[in-house]
Structure 1
């Protein structure tokens, strides 16, 4: 496996921190906006609870954002993308040897 330079390690860590900050900003927005929407709904149209639509819609988006931020992918496994890139690079290297 290749070694990363200090600069590459720093850039990868910075990118991850930016993803985490983005997720927490999204989460904070959700926690502020959803109660406001519930209040508006119950205040003006209490007979129809439409607030469930943004709760579930935005909640699903927030869930996928969290999964992306923390590299959790139950369908393809952890670090699937990096493993696949490595596999394709090795395959390409073997192909070049036989040409």
Structure 2
């Protein structure tokens, strides 16, 4: 039973990871589509310089949000490497074991 429980947990974690990755790519596609449309419409209308600032500020500030989304999905592995958390847990457990009175 324990094996099925562990496999179920692994499946759930993998399913959540796939959902997170898919969510990021949907966000990226919407970002690209909307910002290309905004830039195209403003280029076609040939508005004054002030409107160009608003056009690119949308892409800029939304891009910051998109980067934050990317970081939440892909960031932990980028910053800490693969299996960093598990290695750190093992390291701390070994350190704790050496510091006990056993």
- TM-score bin (small chain): 0.5 to 0.7
**Shift, 1:78, TM fit:** 5.6
Runs of 5+ consecutive residues of structure 2 not aligned to the other structure: 94-102
Mark the structure with the bigger radius of gyration: 2
CA RMSD for the aligned pairs? 3.4
Q: Counterparts of 2:60 and 2:20 in 1: how far apart (Å)?
A: 22
Runs of 5+ consecutive residues of structure 1 not aligned to the other structure: 91-99
Residues 4-83 of structure 1 aligned to structure 2 (within 5 Å): 5-42=6-43, 43=45, 45-48=47-50, 49-50=52-53, 51-71=55-75, 72=77, 77=80
- TM-score for the superposition, normalised by structure 1: 0.66
Q: Segments of 4+ in structure 1 off by > 4 A?
A: 76-79
**Shift, 1:46, TM fit:** 3.6
- TM-score for the superposition, normalised by structure 2: 0.64
Is the helix fraction higher in 1 or 2? 2
**Shift, 1:44, TM fit:** 5.2
**Shift, 1:54, TM fit:** 1.0
Q: Counterparts of 2:47 and 2:80 in 1: how far apart (Å)?
A: 44
